[in-house]
Each structure stands twice: as structure tokens, then as C-alpha cells.
Structure 1
Amino acid sequence: MSRSREISRRTKVAITVGVALALFGTGIGVAAAGGESAAPTVDCPTVGDKLSGVPASAQAEVSRNLALLNTQIDEANRRLVTSQGEGGPNFVQNAILGPLKAKRVATIDRIAIAIGRQGTRPQGLESLATCTLSTAGGGGAAEDPEAPAGEPPAEQPPAEQPPAEEPPAAEEPGEQPPAGVGTITCPDVASQLPAVPAGARAEVDRNLAQLETQIAEANARLVSSVGQGGPNFVQNAILGPLEDKRFAAINRIATAIGRIDARPVGLDALAPCTVS
């Protein structure tokens, strides 16, 4: 009789322990599931829905660049995943969001230029270049590459601009980083230009000055980011974005000249820079 009671008692203890362990394991699983959060994604303003009446002749180029905006976001999201744990607290801004903004500035500028060749150049699109990090998952809406079409307007004669008093100044090297850090070297643009029409001189000068500002900013970034990121950090976070900015500025120079005279060709080759 006592042996039967002992077996019964042991059985109850074993069942109680088993149930407790099962409940404990379930609790851990629920807690782990609840602790998972959606991976952060890049969230960018859409551009296509801000366009209206894209001239038929600009449709292909606009659609191509809208698709490129989607590609840039996809690449940035992949970079977010592959760079987990890299860099310091500002790594995502400096190595992903900053370069993405530079690429979007150049791409959006190409869209505006394409429309402006045949119609009225849209204003304010540059404000759509900045992206943010979203922890809600899913990211922002993708661009629709099919830009809204419009009727091509009658060609308008180029607006005359008052000539500037000074000729385009040759580009001067920006402030140099400390010894040992390296210096960004870019091809000179001013010396490669043909005779600049008087009506385009102001815009050309403005963009030549912007090229110098871009180099100075990149050199400052080169100094402040020493030790950040991996082996490709300088290319991905500094030289790549600088090339995109230069491409847009050089394109604006060529467009300004082309409105009045023959558009210079081959200037795009002057966009890439190196560190020496």
C-alpha cells in the first residue's frame, strides 16, 4: 500500500515538473517572438507622382530615371543589411543615407532637365532627395516608372540673361586636409569649356563655384571620417556621392551653354575624382 502511494506521488511530481518546463519553454518562445522587430528600411519621398505633363520626348528619360531611383533605394536597403555592426553611431547617415541623397539629387536633377528641355522645368523636386530610416518595415512606396505624359509644348526661345561682368573663373583647389589624410583631386572643368555665351555665363559661373564647394565639402568629410567604415568607405561614402553631385553640376553647365550655342560633349568624363 505504501509502495503504491510512493509511486503515485512520484508520478504527480514528474507530471508537475513536465508541465512547468513546457510552460517555461512556451514563455521563452513567446518572449522571443515578441522581441523581434522589423528590420529598418530606407523610406524616401516618391517623385513620379509629383510630376505632371511630362513631354512625350522626355518620357523615356524620365521613366529611366524613376526606375533608377527605385534601384538606388534597393541598393541602400541591401547595404543596411550587410553593414550591420559596422562603423560608429553615425555610420548609417554617413555611409548609406548621405550617399543615397547625393545619388537622388543627381537623378532628380536629370529628370528636371529632361522635362525642361521641352517644357517648363519643375521646381522644388530637390526637396524629395532626402530619405530617412523607418523601423516600421516595408519602406516607402516604390516609384512608378511610367511618368504622367503630357502634350509637348511649342518650343520656347531661350531666355536672354544679362551678361556677367567677369569671365568664368578657373577652378581653384579647395582647402587641403592635414598631411597624411589624403586630398581629393578632381579634373578641372572650366578649362575644358568652349567659349561661354554671354546669356549662359551667370549660370555657368554659379555651377563652377558649386563644383569647388563640393570638393571642399568632400575634403572636410575625408578628414572628419578618418577611421570610419570598411575598406570601401571612402569610395562609397565620399567619392561616389561627390561624382554624382559633380555629374549634376556639369550637366547643368552643358545645358546652360546648349540653350544658346552648341552643347559641349564629353564633360561627363570630368565627374569622377580620386584621393591622392
Structure 2
Amino acid sequence: MVRRTQQHRKHAALKLGGVGVLAVVLLGGGLTLASADDAAAAPQTANCPTVRDKLSNVPAAARAGVEQELANLDKQIADANARLAQQAANPQGGPNFVQNAILGPLASKRTAALDRIGIAINRVGGQRPDLAAFATCGLNAPGVPSAVNGNAGNGNGNAGNAGNAGNAGNAGNAGNGNGNAGNGNGNGNAGNGNAGTGVAQRVSCPTVADRLPAVPAQAAAEVRRELANLDSQIADANARLAQQAANPQGGPNFVRNTIIGPLEDRRVAAINRIATAIGRVDGNRPAELVNLARPCSTK
């Protein structure tokens, strides 16, 4: 009886040892997979044709409307890039999900914005441009910034990407925003030129992406989403400024009270989420980042 009990214990120990080895193997595999995921490249971004550089001789009376729609096009790209970042962090759907759920709707929205640009020009006697070919977008390779239209005054706004914070989202892009790692400090929001002289004012806010500390890989996707949100907020404000230029309303404090102030409040929330995402991983929450939420101004 004692001998049987000893054999039973030995057999149980072997089983437990085997389970332990298997657990170690699985755990090791899991850690390897996690490390591979953490080291993954930045998400893809929308590859859309620029539009500003395709326009010429925009009548002065149409410029505000055109600027508003160019800002809308950039916002649409920022929104699509935010969704692509979410998809990279949490894949869903089948092989056609990105095309059907992100790029297809983006093309439809771009078609509408491009039509409004043509209508704005034609309404004041200009020749309506054929912009339909510029509605369809593809995908950039991971980490490659989207070309946007907001780099007013330089003809093409071809540097900058709202929402693609490659390399764990700790640099900037072209202009005055937060999107693309390693290319400056902006999101195509710089300047207020158009197809002639400036009409609508543009928002100028402190950049965030180039002021970030080292972003842990586990927090990179969330940081990218919030950088995209910051750029989208600026695009929204620029669209409202274009509307204000086309149809002025309110008193001398209207822009500050209804556009700039609310923008700064939204920036506080987004930047706090960035700091929380970083602190959640390494315990070192960069609380000072919130100082970059303001001041925003117009130029």
C-alpha cells in the first residue's frame, strides 16, 4: 500500500512537472508574441491625392469656401488615420474591412467635399475644376505620413500627417500639429495661404508629439489615437474659422469664446489621456504635458 502511494505521488509530480514545463513554454511563447506586437511598425495611413496644389486661379470670393473644404479633407484623413490606428491595435473584420469600413466611406466623403469646392468656384464665375479623380485613397506603408492640404502657402501641403505617430508617437510632422514621427512638428496646419492671399485665419497651438517623453510600446497605439484627435480638433477649428471668414458673426470675442476656448478644453482632455496612457504602463505619468493644451491662437 505504501509502495502504491509512493508511485502515485511520483506520477502526480511528473504530471505537475509536465504542466509546469508546458506553462513555461506557453508563457514564453506569449511573451514572445507580445514583444513582437509591441515592436510592430506604426499603423498604415491613408494615401490620398493632395488637392490644394491642383487648384489654380481660385476667385477671391470663393477662397473661404475652398479653404473650409480643404480643411474638411484634412479632417477626413485625420479621422481615417485614427481608425487605421485603432484597427492596427485591435484588428477586426475580414480582409476587406479596411476598404469597406474606412477607405470606401473616406472616398465618399471626399467626393462630397470636392464637389463643394467645384461649386464654390463655379458659383462666383470661376471655371469649375474636375476634381473627381482625387477622391479615391489607398494606403501608405506603415509609418509613412499622409499628404494633406493644410500647408497653405507652399502650394501642395505635401508634408504632414494627422494621426500617424510612428516610432511610438514621439515626434511631429509638417506644419503645426502632431502627426508623423520624425518629420518636424506639425500636421499641415501651418500658414494661411490659399490660391492667392490668405483670407481665413488658422489655428496655432503648441505641438505635442515632439514634446513627448519616450512612449512605451504598449501605450503607442493609444498615444497615436490621441495625437490624431488633437490634429482633428485643429482641423475642426480651422473649418469653423473658414466659416467665420465667409460669414462673420458675433462680437470681437466670438472666435475666442466659441472656437479657441472650446478647442483648448478638448486639447486638455486629449493630452490628459496621452499622459494617462503612458503612466499606466511605466508608472511615470508626464503630468506637465497638459501645459501644451494652451494657449492656442489664430494667425
Q: Which TM-score applies when normalising by structure 1?
A: 0.40
Higher relative contact order (CA 8 A, sep 6+): 1
* Structure with max Cα Rg: 1
Q: Which TM-score applies when normalising by structure 2?
A: 0.37
